[in-house]
Amino acid sequence: MSTPQSLPITMESKNDTRINKICQDHTHLIETLPKGNGWMVEHLYNYNGVWLNSYILKNFLLLNEYFKSQPSDIFLASFMKSGTTWLKALMFSTLNRDQYTFSNHHLLKNSPQSTFPYLDSECYPVTDFTNVRQPRLFHTHYPHRLLESFTVSCKIVYVCRDPKDVLISLWHFACKIRSKDLNPITLDEAFELFSQGVTDYGPFWDHVLSYWRASFGSPDMILFLKYEELKKQPVMELRKLAAFMGKPFTVDEEEKGVVQKIVDLCSFDNLSGLEVNKSGVDILGKLVEVEKKDFFRKGEIGDWKNYLDEKMAECIDRITEEKLRDSGLILGEFESIGTSRVD
Ligand code: PAP
């Protein structure tokens, strides 16, 4: 496994002096930014209030120069460890349900990660997405303010999760892919960094609020989902997702049980048990190799209870309370189903 700290310049881009010049300027810019401790690599950099590793930041700056969004593009946006793998499977299989039978489905032989690109690490402008099937699907972890700086009028599906479960999931993941040149990251260190907002794409709370607030202004353009609600009522949430993406389930499909079949195909138990997700690696963009099994750990609500003591949990809850006060957004288990939005 490797976690490159700098942007790999490919043969194509080596020949492009303009890109090289831009990359050099970006390197100089990054050197001037405030630094914090990283989870997977040594340092994170604070760019306009968002903590990013240098590779993801450089890629963002390149996306701003080169990426051309199309109105039909659909973005899956999320903070890390909030349900991306699951949503990738659900979005891909829902949009392409005319293409595959359930007994010979693409997802039985291909990992959810491979179904559509993780844009943040695609190393623009080397990757070309012009011939991708419409609508183009992209996954990003950038907060809304950064995403909207290089996209225009695209639909966004956002998924969020209880921050305590995000913290534990992220810590486990970081332990797996953290650069071997660095000391392991302890749970206490991870907790401190998370509470201070110093995580890739953090602070967590600003991230969630950025999409939550944007979804108020454009509810037709941003679908705001919660991991916990997906777990508790997957069929209902999937119907919402399909309609939002412009492909609602028909009466005939409902009668044939297609919604439940997609839910079952994409369930944690099914996907994590497939050979294709148990061995081998996924290369996220051009950034890092991750063992496929590391995208599937427990897939549960409330696993934080096995790791955080009372004081730690209270601290995260207090920050969540303070940050989300007056927003109408409630995160975590204590929310009752059907009250996502307090208008
Ligand atoms: P990413 O940020 O690296 O893309 P992401 O897929 O968002 O990761 O989150 C991984 C979490 O989703 C893991 O949670 P855990 O560590 O608490 O177990 C993973 O197990 C969980 N997950 C993966 N696939 C599914 C699924 N089909 N259903 C429910 N949870 C899932």
Q: What are the pLDDT tens digits along the chain (343 aa)?
A: 333 333 333 434 445 677 778 888 888 899 999 999 999 999 999 999 999 999 999 999 989 888 889 999 999 999 999 999 999 999 999 999 999 999 999 999 999 999 998 999 876 566 678 778 889 999 999 999 999 999 999 999 999 999 999 999 999 999 999 988 899 999 999 999 999 999 999 999 999 999 999 998 899 999 999 999 999 999 999 999 999 999 999 999 999 999 999 999 999 999 999 999 998 887 765 567 788 999 999 999 999 999 999 999 999 999 999 999 999 999 986 544 443 443 3
Q: Look at residue 188 and tell me if it is in a domain.
A: yes
User: 225: Cβ below 6 Å to ligand 1?
Assistant: no
Residue identified by tokens 């201070």 is 196
For residue 213, report the distance from its CA to the centre of ligand 1, in Å. 24
User: 83: Cβ below 6 Å to ligand 1?
Assistant: yes
Q: Which atom of ligand 1 is nearest to the CA of 83?
A: 7
Whole-angstrom distance, CA of residue 63 vs CA of residue 210: 20
User: 85: Cβ below 6 Å to ligand 1?
Assistant: yes
Query: 333 is written with which tokens?
Result: 């288990």
For residue 44, report the distance from its CA to the centre of ligand 1, in Å. 23
Task: Check 26, 105, 139, 141 and give the catalytic one.
Answer: 141
User: 151: Cβ below 6 Å to ligand 1?
Assistant: no
CATH number for the domain harbouring residue 197 = 3.40.50.300
**Which secondary-structure segment (H or E) carries 225?**
strand 222-226
Annotation marks residue 43 as catalytic: no
User: 319: Cβ below 6 Å to ligand 1?
Assistant: no
Nearest residue (CA) to ligand 1, atom 21: 299
* Structural domain of 272: 36-324
Nearest residue (CA) to ligand 1, atom 28: 268
Q: Which atom of ligand 1 is nearest to the CA of 173?
A: 16
Query: What residue spans of 32-162 are helical by DSSP H?
Result: 54-66, 84-95, 144-147
Q: Look at residue 198 and tell me if it is in a domain.
A: yes
Q: Look at residue 232 and tell me if it is in a domain.
A: yes
Give the strand order in the sheet containing 137-140: 137-140, 74-78, 155-160, 222-226
Q: Which atom of ligand 1 is nearest to the CA of 172?
A: 16
For residue 227, report the distance from its CA to the centre of ligand 1, in Å. 9
User: 298: Cβ below 6 Å to ligand 1?
Assistant: yes
* pTM, full prediction: 0.92
> Does a cis peptide bond (omega within 30 degrees of 0) precede residue 8?
no
Task: Return the closest-CA partner of residue 160 out of 318, 336, 301.
Answer: 301
Whole-angstrom distance, CA of residue 309 vs CA of residue 74: 39
Q: Which atom of ligand 1 is nearest to the CA of 303?
A: 17
> Does a cis peptide bond (omega within 30 degrees of 0) precede residue 163?
no
User: What's the total number of domains in the chain?
Assistant: 1
Go through 192-229 and write b for each residue having 16 or more CB atoms within 10 A of its CB, e for each that does not.
ebbbebbbbbbbbbbbbbbbbebbeeeeeebbbbbbbb
Q: Look at residue 271 and tell me if it is in a domain.
A: yes
